């Protein structure tokens, strides 16, 4: 008669085989155009299923010799590992077939790897802009089976997996994909171990006394909370706001002005600009939008300086910058005015978070990470790309002056996205004139919404043009990244990108 | 007159946007030959399915034809560095890697490379690229050999011969292809 351990092992082996079959069946479809993270994860899952199955089979064979309780402990550990593997199949299963464009996948994969070397990256379409991280894989598996079995399997596999999610409805909207900069900001936040800053700050004497007076004010205004509960609540909000705003700070430094344009375009129709007293639950997780805008605008201002920019006709770059800076200043003033009207305890939260952010800003200024986008690069590259877009030329390359062997060089991918946003906002040409109709300030509209007289047909046309524009920009990013990789890896790639003939130009 | 290397390079670097020839990006200067430019394979393919369930394509019945074409084609995007297998007797459409913008006084022809032809790969295309064209070219690949051919996005696959056009026109020929 089989023991409980033996029966459990058989069931668990069946589960592992089904995971193996599922990952294996989708592997062919998955490989085509999938991110390297997905492929690495798929291979790892297959290997781990084999390792765990072999381990269970061995335990099953020995079950008569070893203690039943010991065997059940093994089963319990492996079942935890199998559960994790099962969860991970959602990244490698065939349902992941609708993917974002390579113009998004390639730059953000590289970016995450700059922030977190040795990490695998998955960029995929899901329900919202968000990130996930999986660091526990190796630990859970090492707990489940003897370490030596896992060690070999994990050779060459990254330390952890980061997943960047894009809403399915936004799959083609590369202009909005700039928001992934915020998700990468979260990863930078984790990697820099910044989460402890608020606790350190709250333990200082000035912060303690400020907390006490905030509590008194709150009691006088609303009341109904014990001081300990109040402390827990406030600490939670501080932690959440700090995490979000610090990620915004990283995002603005990584992406440049386009992060603000993207957030404004995406979030303003969905979320209130200011704190909503009637719905404080929103404020528990996220700071009001005006705070996020203010921080981003302060960070992007150095990008919008006029110095070193060509200000001659026909395309006056200085004038474009002036226009963008004036718009940014206007938004910054509005955001600053709104941000001060917070009730307690959010006033206290705001002050603490501001101080925490100052510490992060000081650290960033002292040693600027390599993956940040430089304001001088923005000014050097964006306007040439803007002119290419204006001429309906793919903005994937910057022409080099002189008669050297190289004709052009790839720009930074952030420059392409910034040029695209600026072009989209200003829409100077008939081809994208439909955007301009949308954004006539004189008619009370903005780039964020329809002006008076906008018809349903115009909205459809605008969507069509916007997707066309997105595809155009996505392709530019993709080609420029391949161009850059080609230059860096030419020696390593050898003749892969050549042709089978030895002689060249012979037809 | 066919444009030689010097003329092509001169036009690629022309500061006047109206006269500038764009073939972007040129990854290696050797791509520009004595009288042609090598162009590379892009990473997007439209594969023709083997089993379509379609009796035939009748160009007179335009609506049905468009639907039939959609049904028998599958779009495939290959990551750079990954192989694309073109099996014997298989036909596929493929985009070029380079983006082209021809000024109003230059036109071109796309020709397959004999080095590929000798392996059984035919790169037939609607060979004339009209002056004023902007976009990426679509190549028609067919494997006439008896073994699969492995292609990688980014490979040099065809050549573009450019020549000047007398009394060119500014009439747009095609919108820019994304």
HSE of A3, CA atoms in CB hemisphere, 13 A: 18
Closest CA to B132 of B102, B174, B168, B95: B102
Matching residue, tokens 């400020």: A210
| A28, A165: one domain | yes
Instruction: Give the mean model confidence (pLDDT) for residues A401-416.
Output: 89
Least confident residue range of A234-248, A396-410, B142-156: A396-410
Instruction: Give the mean model confidence (pLDDT) for residues B100-107.
Output: 94
Note the pLDDT of residue A239. 94
Note the pLDDT of residue A307. 79
pLDDT tier at B52, thresholds 50, 70, 90: low
DSSP A345: T
Cα(A356)–Cα(A204) distance, integer angstroms: 13
In a domain, A188, yes or no: no
3-state secondary structure chain B: CECCHHHHHHHHCCCCCCCCCEEECCCCHHHECCCCEEEEEEEEEEEECCCCCCCCCCCCCHHHHHHHHHHHEEEEECCCCCCEEECCCCEEEEEECCEEECCCCEEEEEEECHHHHCCCEEEECCCEECCCCEECCEEEEEECCCCCEEECCCCEEEEEEEEECCCCCCCCCCCCCC
**B149 to chain A: nearest residue by CA?**
A500
**A473 to chain B: nearest residue by CA?**
B178
| ipTM for the predicted complex | 0.85
Closest CA to A348 of A245, A210, A223: A210
Partner-chain residue, chosen from B27, B30, B78, that has the shortest CB–CB distance to A504: B30
Note the pLDDT of residue B176. 43
Dihedral angle at the C-alpha atoms of A460, A465, A471, A477, nearest 10 degrees? -130
Instruction: Give the mean model confidence (pLDDT) for residues A267-274.
Output: 80
In a domain, A230, yes or no: yes
In a domain, A192, yes or no: no
Matching residue, tokens 């007289």: A453
Least confident residue range of A240-244, B63-67, B108-112: B63-67
| A25, A91: one domain | yes
Note the pLDDT of residue B178. 38
pLDDT tier at A281, thresholds 50, 70, 90: low
B39 Cα to chain A: minimum distance (Å) = 10
CB contact under 8 A, B115 and A506: yes
Chain B residues near residue A407 by CB distance under 8 angstroms: 9, 12-13, 25-26, 29
Distance linking the first and last C-alpha atoms of chain A:
76
Instruction: Give the mean model confidence (pLDDT) for residues A169-187.
Output: 94
Cα(A136)–Cα(A152) distance, integer angstroms: 17
pLDDT tier at A2, thresholds 50, 70, 90: low
Q: What percent of chain A has pLDDT over 70?
A: 81
| A320, A412: one domain | no
| A452, A336: one domain | no
Note the pLDDT of residue A438. 54
Note the pLDDT of residue A156. 63
In a domain, A507, yes or no: no
Note the pLDDT of residue A61. 74
Q: Could you tell me if B82 lies within 8 Å of chain A, comparing CB atoms?
A: yes
Number of domains comprising chain A: 3
Partner-chain residue, chosen from A498, A500, A505, that has the shortest CB–CB distance to B33: A505
Instruction: Give the mean model confidence (pLDDT) for residues B20-48.
Output: 91
Instruction: Give the mean model confidence (pLDDT) for residues A297-318.
Output: 82
Instruction: Give the mean model confidence (pLDDT) for residues B5-20.
Output: 91
Cα(B55)–Cα(B71) distance, integer angstroms: 12
Dihedral angle at the C-alpha atoms of A351, A352, A354, A356, nearest 10 degrees? 170
pLDDT tier at A4, thresholds 50, 70, 90: confident
A11: which residues sit within 8 A by CB, 6+ positions away? none
Instruction: Give the mean model confidence (pLDDT) for residues A139-150.
Output: 73
Tokens of residue A276, six digits: 């909503």
A480 Cα to chain B: minimum distance (Å) = 8
A284: which residues sit within 8 A by CB, 6+ positions away? A236, A237, A240
pLDDT tier at A33, thresholds 50, 70, 90: very low
pLDDT tens, position by position, A107-134: 999 999 999 887 888 888 887 898 888 7
B155 Cα to chain A: minimum distance (Å) = 4
| A332, A357: one domain | yes
CB contact under 8 A, B38 and A505: yes
Asked whether the CA dihedral A470, A475, A481, A487 is positive or negative, the reply is negative
In a domain, A505, yes or no: no
| A87, A104: one domain | yes
Instruction: Give the mean model confidence (pLDDT) for residues B4-14.
Output: 93
Domain that holds residue A36: 4-171
* Long-range Cβ contact pairs of A312-318 (< 8 A, separation 24 or more): A315/A383, A315/A386, A315/A387, A315/A390, A317/A383, A317/A386
| A310, A389: one domain | no
**B79 to chain A: nearest residue by CA?**
A33
CB contact under 8 A, A504 and B111: no
Burial A96-125 (b: 16+ CB within 10 A, else e): beebbbbbbbbbbbebbbebbeebbbbbbb
Note the pLDDT of residue A140. 74
A507 Cα to chain B: minimum distance (Å) = 5
- Tell me the C-alpha to C-alpha distance, in Å, between residue A389 and each of A312, A320, A386: 18, 15, 5
CB contact under 8 A, A407 and B26: yes
Closest CA to B170 of B106, B104, B107, B105: B104
| A18, A106: one domain | yes
Residue B137 and residue B164 in contact, taking contact as beta carbons nearer than 8 Å: no
The residue from A333, A366, A399 where one domain ends is: A366
- DSSP lists the bridge partners of residue B139 as B94
Averaged confidence pLDDT in chain A = 81
Note the pLDDT of residue A497. 60
**A487 to chain B: nearest residue by CA?**
B27
Averaged confidence pLDDT in chain B = 85
SS3 at position B41: strand
B59 Cα to chain A: minimum distance (Å) = 28
Note the pLDDT of residue A444. 46
Closest CA to A72 of A143, A141, A3: A3
Note the pLDDT of residue A474. 94
Q: Could you tell me if B144 lies within 8 Å of chain A, comparing CB atoms?
A: no
Note the pLDDT of residue A506. 39
Cα(A37)–Cα(A54) distance, integer angstroms: 26
pLDDT tier at A489, thresholds 50, 70, 90: confident
Instruction: Report whether pLDDT(B172) > 80.
Output: no
| A302, A431: one domain | no
pLDDT tier at A292, thresholds 50, 70, 90: very high
Domains of chain B (ranges plus CATH)? Answer: 5-50+80-164 (2.70.40.10)
In a domain, A111, yes or no: yes
Helix/strand number for chain B, H first, E second: 3, 13
The residue from A338, A366, A394 where one domain ends is: A366
Note the pLDDT of residue B105. 92
Of A134-148, A175-189, A225-239, which one has max mean pLDDT? A175-189
Cα(A145)–Cα(A122) distance, integer angstroms: 27
| Mutation for A interface: B17, B19, B25, B176, most A CBs within 10 A | B25
Residue A109 and residue A133 in contact, taking contact as beta carbons nearer than 8 Å: no
The residue from A136, A171, A206 where one domain ends is: A171
Query: Which of residues A62 and B97 earns the better pLDDT score?
Result: B97
Partner-chain residue, chosen from A478, A490, A501, that has the shortest CB–CB distance to B115: A501
| A235, A351: one domain | yes
| Residues of B designated catalytic | 140
| A359, A384: one domain | no
What values do phi and psi take at A364, rounded to 5?
Answer: -65, -45
Q: What is the DSSP code string of A397-434?
A: -EEPSSS-S--EEPPPHHHHHHHHHHHHHH--SGGGHH
Q: Could you tell me if B43 lies within 8 Å of chain A, comparing CB atoms?
A: yes
In a domain, A187, yes or no: no
Tokens of residue A449, six digits: 């919404």
Note the pLDDT of residue A272. 77
What values do phi and psi take at B158, rounded to 5?
Answer: -145, 175
Helix (H) or strand (E) holding A160, with range, is: strand A160-167
Tokens of residue A343, six digits: 């009730």
Partner-chain residue, chosen from B25, B34, B157, that has the shortest CB–CB distance to A408: B25
Partner-chain residue, chosen from A408, A497, A506, that has the shortest CB–CB distance to B155: A497
Of A436-440, B14-18, B38-42, which one has max mean pLDDT? B38-42
| A346, A384: one domain | no
Q: What is the DSSP code string of B139-161?
A: EEEEE-SSS-EEE-TT-EEEEEE
pLDDT tens, position by position, A443-480: 444 444 555 566 677 777 778 888 889 999 999 999 99
Interhelix angle A36-62/A68-92, nearest 10 degrees: 160
Tokens of residue B34, six digits: 């004595």
| Mutation for A interface: B17, B99, B111, B133, most A CBs within 10 A | B99
In a domain, A393, yes or no: yes
**A399 to chain B: nearest residue by CA?**
B13
Cα(A202)–Cα(A198) distance, integer angstroms: 6
DSSP A34: -
């Amino acid at each position: 008669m089989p023991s409980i351990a033996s029966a459990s092992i058989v069931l668990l082996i069946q589960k592992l085989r089904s995971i193996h079959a599922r990952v294996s069946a989708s592997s062919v479809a998955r490989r085509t155009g999938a991110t390297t993270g997905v492929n690495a994860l798929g291979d790892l899952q297959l290997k781990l299923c084999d390792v765990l199955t072999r381990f269970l089979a061995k335990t099953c064979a020995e079950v008569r010799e070893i203690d039943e309780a010991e065997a059940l402990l093994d089963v319990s550990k492996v079942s935890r590992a199998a559960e994790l593997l099962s969860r991970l199949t959602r990244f490698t299963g065939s349902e992941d077939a609708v993917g974002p464009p390579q113009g998004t996948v390639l730059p953000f994969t590289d970016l995450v790897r700059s922030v977190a070397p040795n990490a695998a990256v998955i960029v995929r379409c899901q329900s919202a802009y968000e990130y996930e991280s999986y660091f526990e894989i190796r630990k859970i598996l090492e707990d489940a089976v003897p370490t030596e079995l896992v060690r070999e399997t994990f050779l060459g596999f990254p330390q952890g997996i980061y997943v960047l999610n894009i809403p399915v409805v936004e799959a083609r909207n590369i202009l909005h994909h700039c928001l992934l900069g915020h998700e990468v900001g979260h990863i930078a936040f984790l990697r820099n171990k910044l989460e402890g800053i608020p606790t350190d700050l709250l333990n200082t004497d000035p912060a303690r006394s400020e907390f006490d007076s905030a509590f008194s004010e709150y009691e006088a205004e609303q009341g109904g909370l014990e001081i300990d509960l109040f402390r827990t609540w406030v600490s939670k909000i501080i932690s959440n706001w700090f995490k979000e705003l610090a990620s915004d700070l990283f995002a603005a430094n990584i992406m440049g002005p386009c992060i603000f344009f993207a957030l404004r375009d995406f979030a303003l129709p969905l979320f209130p600009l200011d704190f909503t007293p009637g719905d404080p639950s929103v404020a528990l997780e996220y700071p009001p939008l005006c705070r996020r805008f203010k921080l981003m605008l302060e960070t992007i201002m150095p990008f919008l300086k006029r110095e070193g920019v060509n200000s001659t006709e026909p395309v006056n770059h200085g004038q474009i910058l002036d226009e963008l800076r004036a718009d940014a200043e206007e938004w910054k003033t509005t955001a600053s005015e709104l941000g001060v009207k917070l009730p307690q305890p959010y006033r206290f939260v705001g002050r603490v978070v501001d101080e925490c952010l100052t510490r992060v800003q000081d650290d960033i200024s002292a040693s600027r990470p390599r993956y940040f986008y430089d304001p001088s690069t923005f000014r050097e590259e964006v306007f040439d790309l803007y002119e290419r877009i204006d001429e309906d030329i793919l903005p994937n390359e910057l022409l080099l002056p002189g008669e050297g062997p190289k004709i052009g060089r790839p720009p930074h991918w952030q420059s392409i996205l910034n040029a695209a946003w600026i072009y989209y906002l200003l829409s100077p040409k008939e081809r994208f004139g439909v955007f301009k109709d949308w954004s006539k300030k004189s008619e009370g509209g903005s780039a964020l919404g329809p002006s008076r007289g906008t018809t349903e047909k115009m909205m459809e046309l605008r969507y069509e043009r916007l997707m066309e524009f997105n595809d155009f920009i996505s392709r530019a990013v993709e080609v420029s990244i391949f161009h850059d990789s080609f230059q860096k890896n030419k020696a390593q790639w050898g003749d892969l990108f050549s042709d089978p003939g030895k002689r060249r130009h012979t037809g | 007159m066919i444009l030689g290397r010097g003329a092509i390079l001169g036009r690629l670097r022309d500061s006047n946007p109206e006269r500038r020839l764009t073939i972007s990006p040129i990854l290696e200067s050797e791509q520009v030959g004595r009288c042609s430019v090598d162009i590379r394979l892009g990473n997007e393919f439209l594969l023709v399915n083997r089993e379509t369930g379609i009796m035939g394509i009748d160009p007179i019945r335009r609506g049905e034809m468009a639907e039939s074409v959609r049904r028998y084609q599958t779009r495939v995007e290959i990551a750079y560095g990954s192989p694309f297998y073109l099996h014997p007797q298989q036909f596929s459409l493929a985009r070029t890697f380079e983006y082209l913008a021809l000024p109003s006084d230059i036109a071109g022809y796309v020709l397959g490379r004999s080095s590929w032809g000798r392996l059984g790969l035919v790169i037939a295309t609607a060979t004339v690229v009209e002056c004023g064209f902007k976009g990426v070219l679509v190549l028609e690949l067919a494997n006439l050999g008896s073994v699969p051919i492995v292609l990688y996005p980014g490979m040099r696959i065809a050549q573009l011969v450019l020549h000047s056009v007398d009394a060119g026109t500014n009439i747009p020929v095609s919108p820019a292809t994304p």
